[in-house]
A and B are shown apart, each in its own frame.
Chain A
Amino acid sequence: MIVKKYFKIIVLFIIFFLLGSISISAKVDIGGELAVSLINIIDNEGNISAYPQASLDLELYIPPFDNNQIKSAVYLYTNPTTGQLDFMFKKLYLKHKFDKLHLTLGRQPISWSFGSMLNPVDFTLGSVVMDEETGSKYQTAVEAYIPLNWNSSVSLVAAFSEASQDIKWGLRGRTMIEGYDLTLNYVREPEIDFMGTIIPPSQRIGFTTKGDLGPLGVYGALGYYFKDNDNGNLAYLIGGDYSYFFEAGNKIYFQLEYLSMKKENLSSILGPFFAGNVTNNLNENIGLILGMANYEIDEFSQINLMAISNLNDGSIIVIPGYRNQLSNNLSFNLSTGIYFGKEDTLFGSNVSEGAQQKPKGMISIGLTYSF
């Protein structure tokens, strides 16, 4: 449709018009983050392939004016395998705050996270995976946000995907009861043309909760995926987190969660990082357990260990990492990912026909500079 086709251009035009006509242009600031890293992929024969990667997150900081907010952020990156430079607009939107409604038009992040490591009820499944953000949360969309009181709101999202002619719809309600943050959402995915394969439209509803139970933080999610002409699929997640302070003043933080869902929905949840063996037994119910421990060595450095295991077949991914803030704006990051599992297991080395060969492991070493 015409509006969808020219939506980005219309928003861009409005933004530039406003920027040109207001006096705050002189207070615009530019900032962002430059990251360079060396990614080493280890295959099943023990061969290591090294790929340098660089990325630049650039954001324009424009002060709000007359209840308007303009955000512009672009992500430039080199493809680690081809070395080609590519870019993606993360944000390019205009937000206007009316009395009882906030309206956001343009390229924006739509994220319904509640603090879990995997999220089976997000607006876009797999937009945050094990604390790693993927690009899929950034959508060209219209969002209407209606605050009801200080902690309650309703938001309606209409997103325009490039892989579909139709609109993706989302509705989310949020409130707090007895200290628990509660959300209820509904998403309708349109029909998608994915590299020649037609994925039919689908719907899902989700419920999340987060709060405290004594010294523990607890959270959970319940999702129901509707299927045309078939029974729907249920998915649920329960988790908790805890901090322990040592006598020496250091702290260790734990997080543990369990996710149960049908195998066919798993690849969306796990995102592009963990493309396990999901082409067979799609109706099988999978139980995943995820854990994370983060230890603060001192004020500037920490080590962490994440692991995800499929309880059905015992396969596991282990992700140790280390981070050190070297100075005000410069930090060093080291992360590794190692797959363990027999052939034909979810995180195992072998693959089904048509699926991509998975590496045995990965080591990434890099520096990040903020400005």
Chain B
Amino acid sequence: MKKIKWFLLIGITVSILFSCLIVVTAAEMTAEEIINKRDDNEYFDTAQMEAEMIIVSGSRKIIKTMDALTDKKNSLVEFTNSQDRGTKFLKREDDLWMFFPDAEEIIKISGHMLNQGMMGSDFSYQDVMEADKLTDLYDFEIIKEEEFEGRPCYVLEGIAREGVKVSYYRRVSWIDKERFIGLKEELYAESGRILKETKANVIEEIEGRWVPTNSVMENKLRKNTYTEFTITQISFNMEIPEETFSLQNLR
């Protein structure tokens, strides 16, 4: 009887220890696994969306609206608000082209303009039209875990890979542990100075993905200025004809 009790005790103890090991092992995802899961959620073959961008500085604000199409490497954005109506941008890999609706001409935009705010916003052309996976651009590591606005998060730091052209040398990302979506991101220059901070205010599940349908980008170099980006309609993985991302389609 005594032997049976000992075996039971040992068995229960081993089971508890084994369970803890499983839990610990499951929680110990690597940074790459976390970012890959985030990329799986946030990146897609193709997407079509309608969006609104509100640029705020102090008490003033301006609203821009746009339609966008994107695939893995290319993006096409057309502005639909009255002041910019018909203005289009085409990004193909590292090249940016702009269509001027009044003159109906297409001009290749210089590369240094990619990092400037799109139509005066805090989102650069690179921010809005970037299609590369983060794992292709940055080396990530987990620096801590903490809660952000009630959601448990992994906090990851990404440093730009050598030879890769990126707008931000370093990024610190708060990634929701359950939904694997970025809730907050700090974007830094190589000097260490924080340039921008972005937060996802509203997250919705659309076609099986968690999508930040409302986010805010704050320019940390200026006071009282930010841009709110709202996706009003989005759909994924539709077929986009090959000639969509072409100069002929800008005309």
Chain A residues within 8 Å of B, Cβ to Cβ:
31, 61, 90, 102, 108-109, 111-115, 128, 133, 137, 145, 147, 149-151, 153, 174, 176, 179, 181, 210-212, 215-217, 241-243, 245, 247-251, 298-300, 325, 327-329, 331, 370-371
Contacts and interface: CB of A to CB of B under 8 A. Distances in A.
A328 B246 CA distance: 30
A111 B85 contact: no
Interface residues of B, number: 38
B83 interface: yes
Interface string B68-87: 00000000000001110100
A212 B111 contact: yes
B221 A298 contact: no
B225 A102 contact: no
A115 B108 contact: yes
Contacts of A151: 92, 246-247
B245 interface: yes
Contact of B103 (A111, A153, A251): A111
A230 B209 CA distance: 70
A102 B248 contact: yes
Contacts of A90: 102
Contacts of B103: 109, 111, 113, 128, 133, 137
Interface in B192-241: 193, 219, 221-222, 225
Interface string B101-121: 011110110111101110011
A150 B83 contact: no
A249 B82 contact: no
A217 B82 contact: no
Contacts of B116: 243, 251
B62 A327 contact: yes
Nearest to B83: A370
Scoring B55, B94, B117, B251 by chain A CB atoms within 10 A of each residue's CB, the highest score goes to B251
Interface of B: 55, 57, 60, 62-63, 81-83, 85, 92, 94-95, 102-105, 107-108, 110-113, 115-117, 120-121, 193, 219, 221-222, 225, 243, 245-248, 251
A370 B115 CA distance: 27
A90 B104 CA distance: 11
A325 B219 contact: no
A128 B104 CA distance: 13
Contacts of A371: 82
Nearest to B246: A150
User: What are the 6 tightest A-B residue pairs by CB atom distance, in nearest-first order?
Assistant: A217-B110, A249-B221, A150-B246, A147-B248, A370-B83, A181-B108
Nearest to B191: A247
Nearest to A146: B248
B86 to A, nearest CB: 8
B110 A212 contact: yes
Contacts of B112: 212, 215-217, 241-243
Contact of A300 (B62, B92, B111, B246): B62
Contacts of A109: 102-105
B57 A300 contact: yes
Contacts of A128: 103
A145 B121 CA distance: 34
A145 B249 CA distance: 12
Contact of B245 (A150, A181, A211, A212): A150
26 contacts: A31-B85, A108-B104, A109-B103, A115-B108, A133-B102, A147-B243, A150-B243, A151-B246, A210-B107, A212-B111, A216-B112, A243-B113, A243-B115, A245-B115, A247-B193, A249-B222, A298-B225, A299-B121, A299-B225, A300-B62, A325-B62, A325-B120, A327-B60, A328-B63, A329-B82, A370-B83
Which secondary structure dominates chain A's binding surface?
A: strand
A112 B57 contact: no
A241 B109 CA distance: 10
A215 B82 CA distance: 33
Contact of B105 (A112, A211, A241, A245): A112
A328 B52 CA distance: 13
Nearest to B244: A150
A100 to B, nearest CB: 10
A141 B38 CA distance: 52
Given A109-B102, A113-B103, A151-B247, A370 B111 contact: no
Given A31-B82, A151-B247, A248-B221, A299 B57 contact: yes
Given A109-B102, A251-B116, A370-B82, A298 B251 contact: no
A28 to B, nearest CB: 14
A179 B95 contact: yes
A256 to B, nearest CB: 13
Contacts of A298: 57, 222, 225
A111 B95 contact: no
Contacts of B111: 212, 215, 217
A251 to B, nearest CB: 6
B98 to A, nearest CB: 9
Contacts of B193: 247
Given A145-B251, A298-B57, A328 B83 contact: yes
A107 to B, nearest CB: 12
A186 B193 CA distance: 51
A329 B248 contact: no
A62 B232 CA distance: 23
Given A90-B102, A249-B222, 14 more contacts: A102-B251, A112-B105, A174-B247, A179-B94, A212-B111, A215-B111, A247-B221, A248-B221, A298-B57, A298-B222, A299-B57, A325-B62, A331-B83, A371-B82
